[in-house]
A and B are shown apart, each in its own frame.
Chain A
Amino acid sequence: MNQPPRLADWLLSRVLPLGKRGESIRGDLREEYRAMCGGGRPLGLPNLWYWHQALRLTLRYLTEPSRTPALSTPRRSPMLHDLTSDLRSALRLFRRTPGTSSLIVVTLALAIGAATIGFAFADLALFRGLPVDDPSRVVSVFAADTHGAQSRGRVSGPDYLDYRDRSQTLERVSAFRQGRAALIVDGHSRTLTVSWATGDFFRAMGQPAVQGRTLANADDAPGAPPVAVLSHRYWQEELAGRPDAVGRSMQIGRANYTVVGVVTPAMEVGNLAEIDVWLPLQITAAGARDVRDLRFVARLRDGVTFASAAAELAAIGDALATQYPESNAGWRVRLVPISDLMGGDNFWVVIALFLFSIGLLIAIATANVSNLVMVRAVARQRELAVRAALGARSGRLVRQLVIEGLMLSTVAAALAVPAAWLGLQVIASLSPDPVFHQLVIDAHEFSFVAALALLCPLIFSVAPARTLARTDMRQVLAATGSRGSTAPMRGRDVLVVAQVALAVILLTASSLALRSVRQVFATPTGLDTSRVLVFTLDFNDAQYPAEEQSRAAALATREALSRVAGVDISTMLTALPILGAEGIAPITVDHDVPRLQRLLASSPIHARRRIEAGRDHHRGHRRRRGRPGPQDARRRLVGVERVECRRGERGRGEPLLWRRQRRDRPPPDVFPRAGLDHRPRCRRDQRRGRPRHDRGRAAARVGLDGRAAPARDLRPEVTGRSRRARERGASRRGGHRARRADRVSRDL
């Protein structure tokens, strides 16, 4: 026998009167339904008919006021009835005091919205985690020097091969590194952010392809046909998500790569979101062991604990240090769960402070709202006293206050979500940093807002409820007038004090944070960045496979720059001071061990940069120790510079090495093209038409359409978004000028 739609029948059972009255109506409907089914009609029609009747009856019985209260059992429980009554009372109160209610709602909405924006940052850092399947089994391997200067160093290619081959506790051992490469389209090139990864990388991360396949083990073998995997973002933005992208050919550098797949968008977290294309990484054992440039991830084998894997890797690291003392002595290996990779070792402190400030913000808002609610409760004392006189218990009155607050906070939460979304959009539009574009409002943020919407009324209803409980209702009723008694409100005073105290704490913390930021930017770095133009070039492996080629290109560029009128000195280095250096390696100074020991004792951190011989003074650096090396010294230390700031010396009125600057020549007005093209790095600067000062930075970068700008006026950071926007803009303008490099080659 055919059964009517269960959901419709359930709906009727909830709406129709209880008892035989409702059951008989449902019985009538079923009888007619079965009569329709028996007529040989398709089953869909009776079902549709049943739904139609159920909905019409529901509408009728919901809108029809109950005229027979005595004939039917009360449908709603007393609790539900009271709640409904309280909600109606809250709605009436909202209409009666629209000003106060709106003020409460707006205050709460702004506070919850701001807290949600803050939570979105914390959520991204803490809860979303890395794009890894079963992260408890995935580890990252770091090289750490025994001096403690480098706790999360990268791993060299030969070391990676040794760890991979010798380890019995790890599987899917993979490595990757990030860089840039030139995509050649119709004779023009554009810079792509590329990650070179070994074939096991995606299997180690547990991330599939949404189109085609990811990299495979055979792809990183010597002689394997070059293949590329696109990031989902690149596929969507540049190829409009076309399904025929797989199988197409891309010329990257001088090789043609075949696109074999598109990786899942779940990979686009953190700096992985900047990657356009994934290419296979081929590693040979013949590489240098002191060039540590690979990130290293692996998966624990089944049944292997983290501790046993760490012990095994440490043993392998010790063996390598013994086997290769020149490159591996003083280095040990460190295993870190990949779930701990977000941020740094002390990142939790930042997040804790962040969450603390969110808590303060909410506390201030609730204290403010509590004050307003208390004022309103005082104004309603007579009404509440009458209810108490009629038999309402104090719990019932408190519940009414809480429900009124709940209604207000619910409305505020509904407004806070779009407010937070709007705030995130504004932040993302103001800052090109990719992390701001990864902030979203989803189930996590909705849950956070809901939790606040439930929590806030409980907090800001406490004080009015306590006041209410202590008030003598007889006095209130006996008092003349409709405003109730004017008894002193100690709770309100406490609230005001708490609110002011919290506000002072938050303002003090904020001003201190702002002051710290200003001081960081104003701190003398010992570098004179005036009249210095900095730009980056990328002589990458893909475009310049031979070391000689990249060196020749770099030298030709430098010579072309030197011939430009107004250019005093042009030189090259691998990384800007303070902004970071790659390739941390043991320092050897002329085999003079005592001198090295003195050097290390004087400063815990030394960074090595390869600087052209004799040209290290161009940026206002003074060489502290070491000596210039020959110009062609490729892997030899040519100097040791202290990266730390020399604050004391600038206070004497003469900045470091200013006297070495030639002030008789004006700064160049026009940047030499020399086959280069630059545009502003920061869209914000471009849009506002005013420079951004980064006085605390060691240098800035030139980025102009043929114009030069003082180094201090430009942001040093280059973000993926601005870079992509720049490159897209260049493409729109024809793309013929858009080839530049963004980094000085490591191999200079």
Chain B
Amino acid sequence: MDWEVDVGGRNFLGEFEQRVLLAILRCGDGAHPIEVRREVMRATGHEPSRGAFYTTLDRLDAKQLVRWTTEAGAEKRDGLPQRTFVVTPEGLRALRASRKALLELWSGLDGILSEQ
């Protein structure tokens, strides 16, 4: 199952999970869910549904690839807490492994996949 943290010593990331992890990294210290989702939307040109986005965050949290802290919400949130996400070292390792695997797969295919 995809929420197993480590299967055979390697982490497996789905495409959307990679996008969310990368967006968190790009947001830096202000990786609130709204900003992270906006960053995913900006980079990919596609607006992910909130349901898919939040459940993906939960899944990454379950895999211990991200962790989050909360702070008291502002008035516009009616005092409801706000989460800030950071990528854990395991998350970074998973991203690197995924990148490496993808580059490995991409290599040697420039002749076929290069845009004319």
| Partner among B33, B49, B58, B76 whose Cβ is within 8 Å of the Cβ of A56 | B49
**A399 interface residue (CB < 8 Å to B):** no
Q: In the assembly, what is the distance between CA of A17 and CA of B59, in Å?
A: 13
**A20 is an interface residue with CB less than 8 A from chain B:** yes
* A646 within 8 A of partner (CB): no
Q: Is the CB of A57 within 8 A of B50?
A: yes
B51-A61 in contact (CB<8A)? yes
Residues of A near B83 (CB, < 8 A) are: 20-21, 24
A480 CB–B CB distance under 8 Å? no
A75 → B minimal CB distance (Å): 14
CB distance from A425 to the nearest CB of B (A): 47
A26 at the interface (CB under 8 A from B): yes
A213 to B80 CA separation, bound complex (whole angstroms): 59
Whether, in the assembled complex, A548 has its beta carbon less than 8 Å from a beta carbon of chain B, the answer is: no
For A56, list chain B residues within 8 Å (CB): 49-51
Answer yes or no: A5 CB below 8 A from chain B CBs.
Answer: no
Chain A residues 45-61 with CB under 8 Å of chain B are 53, 56-57, 59-61
Q: Is A472 in contact with chain B by the CB < 8 A criterion?
A: no
A67 to chain B: closest CB distance in Å?
Answer: 5
* B50 touching A53, Cβ below 8 Å: yes
Which residues of A in the span 240-297 have a Cβ within 8 Å of any Cβ on B? Answer: none
Within 8 A of A (CB), among B67-103: 70, 73-78, 80-83
Q: Indicate if the CB atoms of A26 and B34 lie closer than 8 Å.
A: no
A32 beta carbon closer than 8 Å to chain B: yes
Most chain A beta-carbon contacts within 10 A, residue among B59, B70, B75: B70
Size of interface on A: residues with Cβ below 8 Å to B:
26
Q: Give the distance to chain B from A619, nearest Cβ to Cβ, in Å.
A: 86
Most buried by A among B49, B74, B76, B82: B76
Chain A residues near B52: list those with CB within 8 A: 60
Q: Of A17, A32, A59, A64, which one neighbours B34 at CB under 8 angstroms?
A: A32
Q: A28-B33, A57-B50 are in contact. Are A23 and B58 (CB under 8 A)?
A: no
Asked if B17 is an interface residue, CB under 8 A from chain A, the answer is no
- Whether, in the assembled complex, A34 has its beta carbon less than 8 Å from a beta carbon of chain B, the answer is yes
Enumerate chain B residues within 8 angstroms of A32, measured Cβ to Cβ: 34
The 0/1 profile, CB within 8 Å of B marked 1, for residues 23-50 of chain A is 1111111111011000000000000000
Q: How far is the CB of A647 from chain B (nearest CB, A)?
A: 84
Which B-chain residue is minimally distant from A63 (CB atoms)? B51
Contact of B55 among A20, A23, A28, A60 (CB under 8 A): A60
Q: Is the CB of A67 within 8 A of B51?
A: no
Q: Chain B residues with Cβ under 8 A from A57's Cβ?
A: 50-51, 54
Nearest residue (CB) in A for B33 is A28
Min distance, Cβ B43 to any Cβ of chain A, angstroms: 19
B12 interface hit (Cβ, 8 Å): no
Q: What is the distance, in angstroms, from B61's C-beta to the closest C-beta of chain A?
A: 7
Residues of B23-62 contacting chain A, CB below 8 A: 32-34, 49-52, 54-55, 58-59, 61-62
The listed residue with most B CB atoms (<10 A of its CB), out of A21, A24, A35, A53, is A24
Are B77 and A20 in contact, with the CB atoms below 8 A?
no
Contacts A57-B51, A60-B49; is A24 near B58 (CB within 8 Å)? no
Contact call A64/B55, Cβ cutoff below 8 A: yes
B54 pairs with A25, CB closer than 8 A: yes
> Do the beta carbons of B62 and A30 come within 8 Å of each other?
no
Among A28, A34, A53, A67, contact of B3 (Cβ-Cβ < 8 Å): A67
Task: Tell me what chain A mostly uses at the interface: helix, strand, loop, or mixed.
Answer: helix
A7 at the interface (CB under 8 A from B): no
* B59 neighbours in A (Cβ, 8 Å): 67-68
Cα–Cα, bound, A57→B83 (Å): 18
Q: Report whether B82 and A21 are in contact in the complex, using a CB–CB cutoff of 8 Å.
A: no
B32 cross-chain contacts in A, Cβ below 8 A: 28
Min Cβ gap A26→B in Å is 6
Q: Is the CB of A59 within 8 A of B51?
A: yes
In angstroms, how far is the closest chain A Cβ from the Cβ of B72?
10
Contact partners of A30 in chain B: CB under 8 A: 76-78, 80
Is there contact, CB below 8 Å, between B81 and A67?
Answer: no
Considering the complex, which residues of chain A in the window 62-111 have a beta carbon less than 8 Å from any beta carbon of chain B? 64, 67-68, 71
Q: Chain B contacts of A29 at CB under 8 A?
A: 50
| Those of A328-358 within 8 Å (CB) of chain B | none
How far apart sit A17 and B83, CA to CA, in the bound complex (Å)?
14
Give B54 Cβ to nearest chain A Cβ, in Å: 6
> A24, B33: Cβ atoms under 8 Å?
yes
With the chains together, A39 CA to B70 CA distance in Å? 28
Closest A residue to B74 by CB, please name it: A31
B33 neighbours in A (Cβ, 8 Å): 24-25, 28
The answer to whether B80 and A26 touch across the interface, beta carbons within 8 angstroms, is: yes
List B residues 1-36 near A (Cβ within 8 Å).
1, 3, 32-34
> In the bound complex, how far is the Cα of B75 from the Cα of A210, in angstroms?
54
C-beta contact mask, A489-514 vs B, less than 8 Å → 1, else 0? Answer: 00000000000000000000000000
Bound-state CA distance A60–B83 (Å) is 20
**Set of chain A residues within 8 Å of B70, measured between Cβ atoms:** 20, 24
Do B81 and A24 touch across chains, with their CB atoms under 8 A apart? yes
Nearest residue (CB) in A for B62 is A68
Cα A56 to Cα B81 in complex, Å, equals 22
CA distance A267 to B61 in the complex (A): 68
Separation in Å of the B80 CB from the closest CB of chain A?
Answer: 3
Cα distance, A317 to B114, chains bound together (Å): 114
Partner of A23 from the list B34, B74, B75, B80 (CB cut-off 8 Å) is B80
* B contact residues around A25 at 8 Å (CB): 33, 50, 54
Q: Are A27 and B80 in contact (CB under 8 A)?
A: yes
Known: A64-B55, A71-B62. A27 touches B50 (CB 8 A): no
- Shortest A113–chain B CB gap in Å is 44
- Bound-state CA distance A27–B51 (Å) is 15
Smallest Cβ-Cβ distance to A66: which chain B residue:
B58
Residues in chain A near residue B81, CB distance under 8 A: 20, 23-24, 27
How far is A273 from B52 in the complex, measured between Cα atoms in Å? 61
Contact A31 B76 (CB under 8 A): yes
CB distance from B34 to the nearest CB of A (A): 5
CA distance A35 to B1 in the complex (A): 38
Kindly state the separation between the CA atoms of A29 and B50 in the bound complex, as whole angstroms: 9
With CB as the reference atom, state the residue of chain B lying closest to A68. Answer: B62
Q: B58–A67 contact, CB under 8 A?
A: yes
Residues of B within 8 A of A68 (CB): 3, 58-59, 61-62
| Beta-carbon contact of A21 and B51 below 8 Å | no
In the docked arrangement, what's the CA distance between A107 and B8, Å?
Answer: 58
Contact with B along A5-24 (1 / 0, CB 8 A): 00000000000010011011
With CB as the reference atom, state the residue of chain A lying closest to B77: A27
Answer whether A27 and B82 are a contact pair too, CB < 8 Å, given A34-B76, A57-B50, A64-B55: yes
A61 / chain B contacts, CB cutoff of 8 Å: 51, 55
In the complex the two chains form, what is the Cα distance from A24 to B70 in whole Å?
Answer: 8
A21 to chain B minimum Cβ distance, whole angstroms, is 7
Would you list the 5 A-B pairs with minimal beta carbon distance, nearest first?
Answer: A60-B51, A27-B80, A27-B77, A24-B83, A68-B62
Name 6 extra pairs, CB < 8 A, besides A31-B34, A32-B34, A61-B51.
A28-B32, A59-B51, A60-B54, A64-B51, A67-B58, A68-B58
Residues of chain B whose beta carbon lies under 8 Å from any beta carbon of chain A: 1, 3, 32-34, 49-52, 54-55, 58-59, 61-62, 70, 73-78, 80-83
Q: List 28 A-B contacts (CB under 8 A).
A: A17-B58, A23-B80, A23-B81, A24-B33, A24-B73, A24-B81, A24-B82, A24-B83, A25-B50, A27-B78, A27-B80, A28-B32, A28-B82, A30-B76, A30-B77, A30-B78, A56-B51, A57-B50, A59-B51, A60-B49, A60-B51, A61-B51, A64-B51, A64-B55, A67-B3, A67-B59, A67-B62, A68-B61
Chain A residues in the interface with B (C-beta under 8 A): 1, 17, 20-21, 23-32, 34-35, 53, 56-57, 59-61, 64, 67-68, 71
